């Protein structure tokens, strides 16, 4: 969350956080990133508006800053 707020600030984009049950949602303009727990691990779901763009499993050992930068830069679109 810290990286998302900091990176969003540098891009002049407010990042909103919301817990929806067990899902953590990050929203910035029309982009959303949801972290959904599954029996196999955490699933990262990229959305543009209400359209799901892609989903992938989240490696908890990966760099969170890279995940946020890719999401905010639109690399997932």
What are 4-41's pLDDT values in tens digits? 777 766 677 788 899 999 999 999 888 899 999 999 99
Full domain range(s) for residue 11: 2-73
Instruction: Write out pLDDT tens, residues 8-17.
Output: 666 777 888 9
- Phi (first) and psi of residue 40, to 5 degrees: -90, -5
Write the DSSP symbol of residue 59: -
- b/e for 40-65, b at 16 or more Cβ within 10 A? eeeebbbbeeeeeeeeeebeeeeeee
pTM flag (> 0.85): no
The percent of residues above 70 in pLDDT, for the chain, comes to: 91
The token pair that represents 74 in the structure block: 């639109």
Number of domains in the chain: 1
**What distance in Å separates the CA atoms of residue 37 and residue 31, rounded to the nearest whole number?**
20
């Amino acid at each position: 969350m810290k990286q998302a707020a900091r990176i969003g600030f540098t891009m002049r984009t407010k990042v909103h956080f919301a817990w929806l049950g067990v899902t953590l949602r990050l929203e910035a303009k029309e982009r959303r990133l949801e972290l959904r727990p599954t029996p196999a691990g955490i699933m990262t779901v990229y959305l543009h508006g209400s359209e799901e763009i892609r989903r992938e499993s989240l490696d908890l050992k990966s760099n969170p800053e890279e995940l946020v930068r890719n999401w905010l830069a639109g690399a997932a679109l």
